Structure 1
Amino acid sequence: MVEDQLAPFTGWSRRRWAGLADRMLLAVRACASDDHAQIVPPGPHGAFGRDVDGLEGFARTFLLAGFRLAGEGGQDPLGLAQWYSEGLAHGTDPDNSGRWVRPDESGQAKVEAASVALILDMTRPWIWDRLDDRVQQQVVSYLAVVVGDDAYPHNNWRWFRVIVQTFLRSVDGPWSREEIETDLAFHDSFQRPDGWIADGPLRAFDHYGGWALHLYPALWARMSAAEDLAADRLERDRDRLDRYLLDAVRLIGGDGSPLFQGRSLIYRFAAAAPFWVGAISRVPSLSSGVLRRAASGVMAHFAPHLGQEGAASALLSVGWHGSWPAMAQHYSGPSSPYWAVKGMLGLSLPPTDPVWTSREEPLPLELSDQLFTIRAPGWLVSGTKADGIVRVINHGTDYGRAGLQAGDAPNYAEFGYSTVTSPRMTAAARTDPVEQSVVLLDPSGRSTHRTGFTTGTIGLSHVGAEVAVGSSVARAHWLTEASEYLDYGPGASGEAVDAAALRTVSVLRGPWEIRLVRIEELPENLSPITGMTLRLGGWAVSGDEPTYQWSNGADVRAGALLGGLRSLVFGAAGFDTAGVRREHDVSPLGGTTLTPWLTAPVTPHQWFAAMLCLDRQTPTRVDARSTLSVPRIALTANAEQLWIRWGEGVESTVELSGLMKTETL
């Protein structure tokens, strides 16, 4: 069977992957210094300066060059080994004016040193073994400063020291078994149920779990000097990865889009990395065909936005599809997006590997609707085959911890994320949560935050039609941000003022969520007559004109249709006002963003109920209210049960009393 016939879903043969990789590698040469030590693509310099940008550009593209060399067994028509060897020689030369920033001079250099070490080990016969003694010693001296340096954050960065020291061990350089064991212990402390790994001690669940915290253990175990260090971890790490991938593969949209949630999203198709890691590790639960389909689907989603496939240039910019500079975080520079090449790890496997000789198989979402929960991040998940959308309702992730009163990070603390929507990515979004929010507004219109909430029960209910259910209780608070906020993941710190305890319950099925809200208690100095308002925000849909929005005050309903996506919020109990917020240039997914919302006067100890919908409209269904099959709900008199009649006539009953218990995740 010819290679192209092995990719019936995506059309991404290995040859096509390799062609894109080579265009990317050739394109960055125009952005390199004459000695090849630094690569700085176009764009504003990052917060750490041009020299760090240059090192980052070298190290991150070196990953891709290494994958190409390893996968081709050293065949090198582009001269990658020689080109990058020259950069290594000059970058590690302490007497070169354009030398690299050292890991003891900049924290960011610790990240990049790991990429250099990893690829030097992976491509040992074609690069390291051919370097002269002087350059080898320069490289060892450059990397050796990490030994004894404990200034590594307690998150995925711990792997950077492990990788560098393992390489140093393989070339008789300095290293510390004790430090490697310490870092591995930190990694193990981040383990959560069902193969999920938090990016540190907080409730930080995002793509780092796949493109870092599952990736590095697998690649590290294959390094030359890691065999004895990794021997008792191999099976356990593979089992964790295997379980994680069962969830991860169901979080990919039908169009190949990964979930738009978490930090560092400018890394784009790095989201494909864990599926290649699964192939390398030979996980038992997913076939090579599914793993390939998942990884190629992610690339197929982003590739059309990288320019013409036949073009000589394929530079990555700060953004999601195209350039969108507002996605830059504090640590982002013009070279940062090249961590995306982790998603091209499959090229390190030879053409004879089963993942390349297997035929693509459908994703779970292409076979049937998906409804499940993920306990570690506290997520309810619904994927619908008809429109290819995956929706996540979040009752467990905020990049914080229970009891913390901080600002909401839009990419972590919202109630909902999907493969077709994005949070509003502006400074105003941090202080005024609207989309996928439940907030109290003071008389001036200032919004509360939910970070620090406590998670309740997360699971499936099988009483009638199956539904995913979850709950959380937030100590809603207003926040005055501390000055000089640096966006590296968590929300802002500052001075918090307690507002009320807000309990939120979600019941998810298909494109619909039933959301119940109750104000449990107010501080003694506040009362309903202070003029507070409860506001619930629906899905924010983004796109370009034309748009359609509507609201019906009598029925307390609002909706928007934009870019083929439909977002609806219907008041079912307690809400008395509905509307749609229109904003411009707040999302990388389109120039206009519409967010339906509901409001109500504050009344403690009363259930407010709303129905939220996100689906995709076909070109022939252009009315935001067309083809609607709206659920009906009812609460028992004692509010212990919620009855739902879904649009297709099936019914569900949810025991609310069981959702009132809370736990700390």
Structure 2
Amino acid sequence: MFPPSSSRVAPADGSPITGLTRGDWERAAGRLLDAVRPHAVPGHSLIHLPGPTSGSGRLSDGLEGYARTFLLAAYRSAHAGRHLADHVLAPYAEGLEHGTDPTAPGRWPLPAELPQARVEAAAVAIGLHESRHRLWDRLPDRVRQRTVDWLGGISDTEVPPNNWLWFKAVVAAFLRSVGAPHSTGDIARAVERTEEWYAGGGWYTDGARGPGQRRNFDHYNGWAMHLFPLWYCRISGGLAEPELLPRYRERLRAFLDDAAHLVAGNGAPLFQGRSLIYRFGAAAPFFVGALFDATPLAPGLTRRAGSGMLRYFIDRGAAEEKDVLSLGWHARFPPIRQNYSGPASPYWASQAFAGLLLPPEHPVWTAPEERLPVERGDFTRSLAAPGWLVSGTASDGVIRVVNHGTDHTPPDRPARDDPFYARLAYSTHTAPDLGLRPDLSGDPQAHPRDGDARAPQGPDNRVSLVDGDGALSHRSPLRRVLLAEGVAVSAHTAHWPVLGEPDRERWPAGPAVLTASLVHGPWEVRLVRVAEGTGHPVVIGGHALAAERPPEVTATDDRVVVTRPDGLTSALVVLHPPSGDAALSVRRATAVNAFGTFSATPVYEAGGTLHATAVFLGTTRDAALPPPPEVRLTAGSATVSWPDGTTGEVALGS
């Protein structure tokens, strides 16, 4: 789809880092659109891509194929010549005629019939708005009326109290813009609930179980919670409430200041949260910020971030199947999909092409690329809303996140750990090892998010206790204790979920566990205090390192080092002898990691109540670690001495 990643244009061409220009984005959009056409039904109302059916069924998946690629077509046609725009939009105009015809073989499921259709209705509404003069205005009156009727069916439906509220509001805005009946209540509810979910600093939680219970943080901040409110304003124009556009612009501006620090030097976004099959959809907020004048980033940095993500995934096989996006992270990797994900779900990545709504002469497309924060130098950054410590290292471009605030779990009851949320650490270069999805059909209290839990899970980036059967305890819900510059602390009650036991209060529970993290460069000092007298050994796992051949392992008495051929290294070092017996090992796994077939995780296991380890993720030469930090434990506190002479301190309680 692009020239080889080693091919770079000259600095004078403006893209010395990624090599991608607006023309490359246009060609990528064209190839992605061309690739789905052979999978369309006669009439083009449904696009049935190859892959496993979602929980909503094949008909829903076909609608998803139409709606999400329609977004891409609308963005691509915005500044195209008349002939090209007509060519791109023609199958979608035909699809509207057949999809909204209740007698047609390829008719769409109604929003009242199928919840997933309520999502796709919003994509259709945005696509219609962005192609209004080239498609909507040229449709026969009967098709426009049927389209209005189909979209209007969303008004009387129930949706989850999260980003789905904005799907109804966006549809209402479009209906209002064409003089059709619409629900003002749908708009008011979305605006009102969004205020409850705003956690400050540009961050939203995607829904909440109760007031102030903000713990659902992930990429939905960018491709849903910021994007749809702003698109509501864009579609509404002068009919939007006057205070909303300035409010949402300022929040996106604050978010993008953080988001730029979550993009790796190789263009990878953070591997964390659900719906990761949307891949370069994580680039959407960067371009949306420029589109709405809601960004603190220079135009060249905006393009660098967005183009870096697009190139990262395309170079690694995201569209290797005849230019069709597969269900996966790099190439196809089915275990990453959620129950709601169908073959066309990855095309939510179309949101990244919102940059094509900017005219070719816009500075985002003409200014020279600028380096990402991680390319400018090492940094450590605290993100207050999600409870994350972020560290980036310029030498290898790796971004690491230590998580002491996000678990996607109601705080008032124990839950199964979701590997995409409840791990202690995430990064742009590693992913958690996944297990099999448990069957939760017999648990009437199970929330759909529990479908993301895996049992059994690997030990990577977990702090767990071990029961008599060797099972690792779960962490969620966690309780944030401290978040400051370079240091964070959280607490949880260890527990062991029982499949088939709906009463969570009857799950076996263990003692309270306090976990502290201090970060500096590629190191995280991970300190654990367990309540006295438990008898449960403690397991601490480092990052799971994955590759297409088994990573190399070296071990000594105080460390385990796992290395890939490219030098990326995951290691765990014992900093203080535990009071109980200790063992270091490597947990190997196959076909459970999105970054490669073979994965390996350094693991520490020891008895006692106080544990001090250092977790490393970075690039080494010949598996030689840089000097690790040192720790001094005193009554109720720990002092860490970093190799550069600086120190950090944290209270651990008594």
Shared fold, TM over 0.5: yes
Q: Is the 8 A contact 2:318 2:330 kept in 1?
A: no
Per the TM alignment, residue 558 of structure 1 is displaced from its structure 2 partner at its CA by 1.5
Query: 1:376-415, aligned counterparts within 5 Å?
Result: 376-415=385-424
In the alignment, the residues of structure 2 paired with residue 272 and residue 284 of structure 1 have an alpha-carbon distance, to the nearest angstrom, of 13
2:636 aligned residue (629, 634, 639): 639
Identity %: 40
Note if 1:481 corresponds to 2:489. no
Note if 1:472 corresponds to 2:495. no
Change (3 A) 1:446 1:368: same
Per the TM alignment, residue 284 of structure 1 is displaced from its structure 2 partner at its CA by 5.0
1:179 aligned residue (180, 183, 186): 186
Change (3 A) 1:589 1:655: closer
In the alignment, the residues of structure 2 paired with residue 92 and residue 363 of structure 1 have an alpha-carbon distance, to the nearest angstrom, of 45
Note if 1:214 corresponds to 2:214. no
State the secondary structure of the residue aligned to 2:225.
coil
Which residue number corresponds to residue 158 of structure 1? 165
In the alignment, the residues of structure 1 paired with residue 487 and residue 647 of structure 2 have an alpha-carbon distance, to the nearest angstrom, of 11
Which residue number corresponds to residue 456 of structure 2? 431
In the alignment, the residues of structure 1 paired with residue 481 and residue 630 of structure 2 have an alpha-carbon distance, to the nearest angstrom, of 25
Note if 1:541 corresponds to 2:545. yes
Q: Is the 8 A contact 2:148 2:175 kept in 1?
A: yes
Which residue number corresponds to residue 6 of structure 1? 14
Note if 1:557 corresponds to 2:559. yes
Which residue number corresponds to residue 352 of structure 2? 343
Which residue number corresponds to residue 120 of structure 2? 112
Q: Is the 8 A contact 2:434 2:457 kept in 1?
A: no
Which stretch shifts more, 498-507 or 543-552?
Answer: 543-552
State the secondary structure of the residue aligned to 2:488.
strand
Q: Is the 8 A contact 2:461 2:540 kept in 1?
A: yes
Letter in 2 for 1:560: V
Which residue number corresponds to residue 451 of structure 2? none
Q: Is the 8 A contact 1:62 1:84 kept in 2?
A: yes
Which residue number corresponds to residue 287 of structure 2? 276
Per the TM alignment, residue 218 of structure 1 is displaced from its structure 2 partner at its CA by 1.8
Which residue number corresponds to residue 247 of structure 1? 258
In the alignment, the residues of structure 2 paired with residue 127 and residue 614 of structure 1 have an alpha-carbon distance, to the nearest angstrom, of 50
Q: Is the 8 A contact 1:550 1:579 kept in 2?
A: no
Q: Is the 8 A contact 2:391 2:399 kept in 1?
A: yes
In the alignment, the residues of structure 2 paired with residue 46 and residue 62 of structure 1 have an alpha-carbon distance, to the nearest angstrom, of 20
Which residue number corresponds to residue 583 of structure 1? 589
Change (3 A) 1:557 1:216: same
Change (3 A) 1:307 1:378: closer
Change (3 A) 1:2 1:72: farther
Change (3 A) 1:256 1:77: same
Which stretch shifts more, 415-424 or 494-503?
Answer: 494-503
State the secondary structure of the residue aligned to 2:252.
helix
1:288 aligned residue (299, 309, 320): 299
In the alignment, the residues of structure 2 paired with residue 291 and residue 493 of structure 1 have an alpha-carbon distance, to the nearest angstrom, of 46
In the alignment, the residues of structure 2 paired with residue 590 and residue 493 of structure 1 have an alpha-carbon distance, to the nearest angstrom, of 35
Q: Is the 8 A contact 2:550 2:599 kept in 1?
A: no
In the alignment, the residues of structure 1 paired with residue 102 and residue 560 of structure 2 have an alpha-carbon distance, to the nearest angstrom, of 63
Note if 1:419 corresponds to 2:428. yes
State the secondary structure of the residue aligned to 1:290.
helix
Which residue number corresponds to residue 464 of structure 1? none
Which residue number corresponds to residue 489 of structure 1? none
Note if 1:452 corresponds to 2:458. no
Letter in 2 for 1:248: A
In the alignment, the residues of structure 1 paired with residue 52 and residue 103 of structure 2 have an alpha-carbon distance, to the nearest angstrom, of 28
Q: Which runs of 5+ in 2 are unaligned?
A: 1-8, 209-213, 438-453
Query: Normalization by structure 1: what TM-score?
Result: 0.90
Per the TM alignment, residue 75 of structure 1 is displaced from its structure 2 partner at its CA by 5.2
Change (3 A) 1:352 1:494: farther
In the alignment, the residues of structure 2 paired with residue 42 and residue 4 of structure 1 have an alpha-carbon distance, to the nearest angstrom, of 42
Which residue number corresponds to residue 4 of structure 2? none
In the alignment, the residues of structure 1 paired with residue 490 and residue 319 of structure 2 have an alpha-carbon distance, to the nearest angstrom, of 46
Per the TM alignment, residue 77 of structure 1 is displaced from its structure 2 partner at its CA by 5.5
1:233 aligned residue (206, 222, 244): 244
Q: Deviations over 1:105-164 (max 9, x none)?
A: 111000001010111111111111001111011101111111232x11111111100011
Count of aligned positions:
621
> Please, what is the CA RMSD of the aligned residues?
2.2
Per the TM alignment, residue 89 of structure 1 is displaced from its structure 2 partner at its CA by 0.3
State the secondary structure of the residue aligned to 1:457.
strand
Q: Deviations over 1:245-295 (max 9, x none)?
A: 011000000000000000000000001001001111213521111111111
Per the TM alignment, residue 550 of structure 1 is displaced from its structure 2 partner at its CA by 2.7
In the alignment, the residues of structure 1 paired with residue 147 and residue 414 of structure 2 have an alpha-carbon distance, to the nearest angstrom, of 45
Q: Deviations over 1:292-328 (max 9, x none)?
A: 111111111112134799x9x4111101111111112
In the alignment, the residues of structure 2 paired with residue 404 and residue 308 of structure 1 have an alpha-carbon distance, to the nearest angstrom, of 41
Letter in 2 for 1:533: P
Q: Deviations over 1:444-494 (max 9, x none)?
A: 10111110111011011xxxxxxx10000101111113489xxxxxxx979
Query: Normalization by structure 2: what TM-score?
Result: 0.91
Per the TM alignment, residue 73 of structure 1 is displaced from its structure 2 partner at its CA by 6.5
In the alignment, the residues of structure 1 paired with residue 426 and residue 75 of structure 2 have an alpha-carbon distance, to the nearest angstrom, of 32
Letter in 2 for 1:607: L
Which residue number corresponds to residue 630 of structure 1? 628
Per the TM alignment, residue 537 of structure 1 is displaced from its structure 2 partner at its CA by 0.7
In the alignment, the residues of structure 2 paired with residue 388 and residue 78 of structure 1 have an alpha-carbon distance, to the nearest angstrom, of 42
Letter in 1 for 2:242: A
Letter in 2 for 1:647: P
Which residue number corresponds to residue 211 of structure 2? none
Change (3 A) 1:493 1:24: farther
State the secondary structure of the residue aligned to 1:167.
helix
Change (3 A) 1:176 1:372: same
Which stretches of structure 1, 4 residues or longer, exceed 4 Å deviation after superposition?
1-4, 306-309, 492-495
Per the TM alignment, residue 7 of structure 1 is displaced from its structure 2 partner at its CA by 1.3
In the alignment, the residues of structure 2 paired with residue 217 and residue 328 of structure 1 have an alpha-carbon distance, to the nearest angstrom, of 26
In the alignment, the residues of structure 2 paired with residue 431 and residue 547 of structure 1 have an alpha-carbon distance, to the nearest angstrom, of 22
Q: Deviations over 1:606-625 (max 9, x none)?
A: 421111111123xxx22x3x
Q: Which runs of 5+ in 1 are unaligned?
A: 461-467, 485-491
In the alignment, the residues of structure 2 paired with residue 75 and residue 357 of structure 1 have an alpha-carbon distance, to the nearest angstrom, of 25
Q: Is the 8 A contact 1:306 1:321 kept in 2?
A: yes
Q: Is the 8 A contact 1:276 1:346 kept in 2?
A: yes
Per the TM alignment, residue 179 of structure 1 is displaced from its structure 2 partner at its CA by 2.4
1:63 aligned residue (32, 48, 71): 71
Q: Is the 8 A contact 2:516 2:650 kept in 1?
A: no
Letter in 1 for 2:542: G
Change (3 A) 1:556 1:577: farther
Per the TM alignment, residue 233 of structure 1 is displaced from its structure 2 partner at its CA by 1.1
In the alignment, the residues of structure 1 paired with residue 347 and residue 118 of structure 2 have an alpha-carbon distance, to the nearest angstrom, of 16
Per the TM alignment, residue 216 of structure 1 is displaced from its structure 2 partner at its CA by 1.1
Letter in 1 for 2:393: T
In the alignment, the residues of structure 2 paired with residue 75 and residue 269 of structure 1 have an alpha-carbon distance, to the nearest angstrom, of 28
Change (3 A) 1:417 1:354: same
Per the TM alignment, residue 426 of structure 1 is displaced from its structure 2 partner at its CA by 2.3
Q: Deviations over 1:39-98 (max 9, x none)?
A: 011112222211111100000000000001113375525612222100000000011122
State the secondary structure of the residue aligned to 1:567.
strand
Per the TM alignment, residue 546 of structure 1 is displaced from its structure 2 partner at its CA by 5.1
State the secondary structure of the residue aligned to 1:221.
helix
Per the TM alignment, residue 574 of structure 1 is displaced from its structure 2 partner at its CA by 4.2
